[in-house]
Each structure stands twice: as C-alpha cells, then as structure tokens.
C-alpha cells in the first residue's frame, strides 16, 4: 500500500484480511511522509513500513524510482494507493499498469484531482461517492473498477459529505481488492474483465457491501 495520511483505508483492509473476509496478505506500507500515522498503524500490526522523503531526491522521477524500488523488493501482486498524495511519473508507472489501483473520493470521471467534496457541492451534484480505478499516467483517469454512491443531502457541507463518502470508501476498497484477489475482476489484454466479459461499466457497491453490475 502507498499512503500519505492517517491510514483508515489501511486499517479497513487489514481488518478484512485478518478476519478472512478477503484472501490477501499485506506485505508493506510505503509513504512519502515519514510522520504519516499510517506507518505507525502498519508497524503496530507487524507489517513493514517504509517512508522516503521527496526532499532527499533531486526530482520527482528520482524519488518515484527509489520508492517503487522499495515496493518491488517486497514482490507485491497488487499495489494499492489509498490517500497517496503524489502524482507518480508515467515512465515509472508504465510497467505497473494493471497491478496498481487507487481509491479516489468522487464518482469518476467527475471531479478528478483534489477538493472533490467541495467541487461536488459547488456543482450542485445530487450524488457523490468514491471510485476504485486502475492507476495510469493520466491523473485519476484509469479504467474504473467499482464505485460507491452516496446522496448529497440538503444542508451538507464538505465535512458531512466527506464523512458519508469515507464510510463507503472502506467497504468499497475491501470489496474491490477482494474481487481482484479472487480473480472475479482481472486485468488482461489491456482492459478490465469481470468473469468472462469485459467490464464496460464500473461495478457498484450495494447495501450489503457486495459489488454488482449496474
């Protein structure tokens, strides 16, 4: 996992794995912020945690190469970006496409980038949510695996909307990683597949925290 912040998605994934709800083993957490709380959470669970500071490298490319080399050393089958706040250089990403996913707090392709909750409110959106997508060189532009939808309610502000989205982010990420781990969703021939059919529209997280076709 790559993360820059508090690690709530890490804790959700770790809990699901520890309870046997998804067949995965977390082998490392990596961050660009040495003080990120997610690192302490990982170490508390006995999971290797590594932080590199971008200030110690001459440019973004050098940093990304160094960090991803550390990631490669633990030989992950899947790399999960959850609150990782840096854009990774496209040349470094190229060999990883299909093996790296990101969770983003909007219903992509709407509201790529930052401040998604504010922008959803300013746009007058009636629905908002979160998306899990394949990471590509295009910012928040890779194929979307699955989404969780929440209503935008009268009187919402950024904080209330963010809390409602986060509550669905956790089961969305768990379900998406589980689907990839079991092969229910897979990357093949440069595209996503669900079962034997191409995944032409994102799966949706239902009320029972299962991924279903829309």
Residues 8 and 84 in one domain: yes
Query: In this structure, are 71 and 119 located in the same domain?
Result: no
- Residues 109, 213, single domain; the answer is yes
pTM, 2 dp: 0.96
pLDDT value for 198: 97
Pairing of strands 197-198, 29-31: unpaired
115 is catalytic: no
pLDDT band per the 50, 70, 90 thresholds, residue 173: very high
pLDDT, tens digit (0-9, with 9 covering 90-100), for 31-79:
999 999 999 999 999 999 999 999 999 999 999 999 999 999 999 999 9
Catalytic residue among 14, 104, 111, 128: 104
Indicate the burial class of 209 (C-beta count within 10 angstroms; 0-12, 13-18, 19 or more): middle
At 82-132, the pLDDT tens digits run 999 999 999 999 999 999 999 999 999 999 999 999 999 999 999 999 999
CATH number at residue 20: 3.40.50.170
Domain count, the chain: 2
Query: Mean pLDDT over residues 164-174, rounded?
Result: 97
Structural domain harbouring 15:
1-96
One domain, residues 110 and 85: no
């Amino acid at each position: 996992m790559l993360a820059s912040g508090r690690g709530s998605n890490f804790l959700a994934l770790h809990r699901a794995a520890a309870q046997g709800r998804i067949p995965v083993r977390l082998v490392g957490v990596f961050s660009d912020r040495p003080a990120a709380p997610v690192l302490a959470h990982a170490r508390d669970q006995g999971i290797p945690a590594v932080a590199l500071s971008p200030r110690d490298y001459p440019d973004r490319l050098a940093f990304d190469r160094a960090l991803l080399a550390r990631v490669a050393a633990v030989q992950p089958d899947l790399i999960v970006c959850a609150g990782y706040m840096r854009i990774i250089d496209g040349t470094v990403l190229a060999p990883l496409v299909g093996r790296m996913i990101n969770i983003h707090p909007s219903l992509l392709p709407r509201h790529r980038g930052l401040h998604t909750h504010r922008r959803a409110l300013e746009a007058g959106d009636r629905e908002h949510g979160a998306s899990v997508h394949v990471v590509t060189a295009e910012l928040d532009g890779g194929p979307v695996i699955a989404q969780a939808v929440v209503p935008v309610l009268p009187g919402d502000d950024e904080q209330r909307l963010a809390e409602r989205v986060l509550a669905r982010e956790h089961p969305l990420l768990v379900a998406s990683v589980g689907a990839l781990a079991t092969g229910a969703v897979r990357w093949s021939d440069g595209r996503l597949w669900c079962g034997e059919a191409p995944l032409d529209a994102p799966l949706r997280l239902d009320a029972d925290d299962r991924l279903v076709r829309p």
